[in-house]
Structure 1
Amino acid sequence: MSGYKVAIVGATGNVGREMLSILAERRFPASEVVALASSRSIGREVSFGDRTLKCKALENYDFTDTDICLMSAGGSVSKEWSPKIGAKGCVVIDNSSAWRMDPDVPLVVPEVNAEAARGFVAKYIIANPNCSTAQLVVALKPLHDRATIKRVVVATYQSVSGAGKDAMDELFSQTRAVFTSNPIENKTFPKRIAFNLIPQIDVFMDDGQTKEEWKMVAETKKILDPKIKLTATCVRVPVFISHSEAVNIEFEKPITADEARDILREAPGCLVIDRREPGGYITPHEAAGEDATYISRIREDPTVENGLNLWCVSDNLRKGAALNAVQIAEVLMNRGWLKPKAA
């Protein structure tokens, strides 16, 4: 079989670069990989394995002979371009929030609902979930299958990379300013992020929750089960890479911490590190650059019937974005739902 021609839109961004890295790492059978960006980035170089690609302009690119487009250029770009690309018979796997709640667009985490990806044929678009949702549902799915989840309460500790390169630069520059006693500037975030926490991610909605918190609720229901009740508090923390989550789960059926630990050890995409001793858990620093969703601190909640607490950490640039997109492409390939045009 011929390889797939793959285009990366937003190739110069954090997630776009990670997509290129993961395609090379996983030896995705690509006959050609094309780096695309805005016209101002024409000619900029990005790495793909041991090769260097020069960016081409999205506006001038013809997708007629391209099989898969990994889109990581923001919601407004995706809204404009994804339907045009899909109309050319190229499947768009979109990392933005633009299409997640469209009933004709599958919202997919391969370890959880890979079968849903078959529905790409409606618009030739598949949506990646929000980064904080992706790791959460990977941890919830096997437990839901065993004991049926009624309610989830989650508090997130989200790294600045989720807000892009400028946010990472701001954490770095503010941290340096603290040590050198220089003025601290807030550009990306509404308040200082260095040595601080910000209990706001995305804009506020009328009911008081933020858009990020709403996304976790709506996306978990679409991916996993609409009957699950979920409430979230999303917090930005001064960490460069990896999101962490403190998760409280109430089940319909009894389940012990030992049972949950055994189930999660066998679950796809999960890695349990849970020793009840100092350091016997995962931190965001250790999860950075890794593919797994790490689970620690699994314990029973005595304040509610059939309740568990756990700690969940994952690299948001990988599982929360780039890796998940590449895994979706692998599902389409491995299940024979998408054949290369060149074949």
Structure 2
Amino acid sequence: MTISKFGDITVRDLGSDGATLEFPKNAEWADDLKVSFPKVRWAPTTRVWGIPGKLGYKRACQWAERIASGNGVVDRQKLIDSAAFDGLVSKYVRLGTAQSIVRTAYDEEIVAICRKLGGAFDRDEKIWVIPGANLAALIQATPGIDRLAAAASARDSARKAARKAEAQAIEAAARQEQDEHLARVRAHRYVVLASKAPVVGATVRLYGNPVTVESLGKLFRADDELSSRGGPIGAEGEWVRYAYYRDATAAEMAVLEATETKRAEAARIARAQAEAIHTVAASADAPELGHAPEGEVIWRDDRHAVTGYRRWVVLTADGWLWHITYDGSDGAMWGDYNCGYNSQGTRVPARDDLVAAIRGQA
């Protein structure tokens, strides 16, 4: 760390972080420092002044050397009262005997003037530093700088306002697009019981219209108001989720319709089978055989076999359809019946339509 002394003023080089200035309490020096370095900051803990920027150390040394030599900032009021200054006061130019500062919005003509006056641009502070030797010329140029700076400031403000308006318009458009997207998403969803949720990619009918499920939402508990908002009735307290969908394509609709046709045909066959089996089971013709009739078993129901309850239909060689019930379940009336132990049977003549229906072929 480089440390330089200028009388009672100590300057420390902080490299790219700038520099610090330390001197005894002096209101005039402090005021001069604030004028010369608009971004200077006082650190009450370490009791030093901090000057940011890569040129901070160099400029701080120049300031300390000027103050230590007794050449303070120019007396502005004296300049204002002088004929040379002609009463002009500039908010864009800070005058000093060692160096002056020009701070304005960017303008090519101002840049040309500052360069002509031997100025150097400080990129960290965003200012032009004019050497004190050209103070008189700078005073003469100040009215023109003021005029150009005011116009540049107006242009800069207009550009900033335009950029702000553009950014706000883009943000508003993005919000509107997001809101419209959410509205579209919410318009294309419905609540289903989690246990009956369709698989993603499935094509189903929603209020009669074919739709394809694209995704499933998170699980949540249905409240007592869900059914009034289009949710399933009686689902209060159950786990439900949203199914998000889109309109089905022509190909998806064709697959759905083929599946529905197949299911409808399967349901029709199942109904015809159930009706044919009932026709045999409901017959009053139950002759005593003493054993289960022999023949081809064309239908069997063993769903409850583990409990001792079974049913089946037999097609005998002599042209009869028998419905046999074996009931050996707990609580049943065990004993010998017309078709043997725990077995009861009824029969009807074996018609082709009944046989085909019971086989699941009708």
Q: TM-score, normalised by structure 2?
A: 0.16
Larger radius of gyration: 2
The higher-RCO structure (CA 8 Å, 6+ apart) is 1
